[in-house]
Amino acid sequence: MMEQAGRQIELLEMSAPANFPYNYSCGKIGSFFFKKLRDEKKIYGRKCPRCKKVYIPPRPVCGPCFAPTDEWVEVGPGGVLECFTVVFFGFLDPMTGKKRPVPYGYGLIRLDHADSRIQHFLSENDPKKLRVGMRMEAVFNQEREGKLSDIKWFQPVE
Ligand SMILES: [Zn+2]
């Protein structure tokens, strides 16, 4: 109930699913990055001309220096697992809208020649078989669309 102009008004509630599909430009840097993933199965970062840090995913500007990045650097596909978790609690995957099968591994990987980390799924979901510092390698999907999910996951390298 709500009072308006001295009268009680009954307010009803209703629910309905809302769907807001939209497309947006990846921009010059995002387009280059995603085309390389899709067409060549290669991962590129952007290098800052001042501090020389290589960012992945690529950034147009270095945050600490405020300098525009100006060079593409191929990174990975190997790297080091810097932290991880294994998810046992099922929830809806925002990328697909479907319940993601559990358990699954998820981690931060610092790719070779990169100074920042990329977060992604891991092929391994047994916490006893994962450790910080272990070598990982990107595994690409057979069919790719120009999305970060073109990398299926990172798998441990023996
Ligand atoms: Zn910098």
Question: Concatenated DSSP letters for 3-59?
Answer: EETTEEEPPP--------------HHHHHHHHHHHHHH--EEEEE-TTT--EESS--
For residue 93, what pLDDT is reported? 81
- Tens digit of each residue's pLDDT (9 = 90 or more) over 1-23: 888 888 898 888 888 888 888 88
Question: Residue 30 Cα, ligand 1 centroid: separation in angstroms?
Answer: 19
Question: Residue 157 Cα, ligand 1 centroid: separation in angstroms?
Answer: 31
- Tens digit of each residue's pLDDT (9 = 90 or more) over 67-107: 999 999 999 999 999 999 999 988 888 778 888 889 999 99
Q: Decide if 90 contacts 102 (C-beta within 8 A).
A: yes
Who has greater pLDDT, 154 or 15? 154
Q: Decide if 122 contacts 106 (C-beta within 8 A).
A: yes
Reduced to 3 states (helix: H, G, I; strand: E, B; else coil), residue 112 is coil
Question: Residue 145 Cα, ligand 1 centroid: separation in angstroms?
Answer: 31
Kindly list the domain boundaries of the chain, sorted by start residue.
Answer: 25-156
Tokens of 79: 């790297």
Cα separation, 1 vs 9, whole angstroms: 6
Q: What is the mean pLDDT of the chain?
A: 94
For residue 123, what pLDDT is reported? 97
Question: Residue 104 Cα, ligand 1 centroid: separation in angstroms?
Answer: 35
Question: Residue 18 Cα, ligand 1 centroid: separation in angstroms?
Answer: 41
Question: Residue 56 Cα, ligand 1 centroid: separation in angstroms?
Answer: 13
Q: Decide if 107 contacts 120 (C-beta within 8 A).
A: yes
Question: Residue 136 Cα, ligand 1 centroid: separation in angstroms?
Answer: 26
List, in sequence order, every beta strand (DSSP E) within 60-133.
71-75, 78-87, 104-111, 118-122
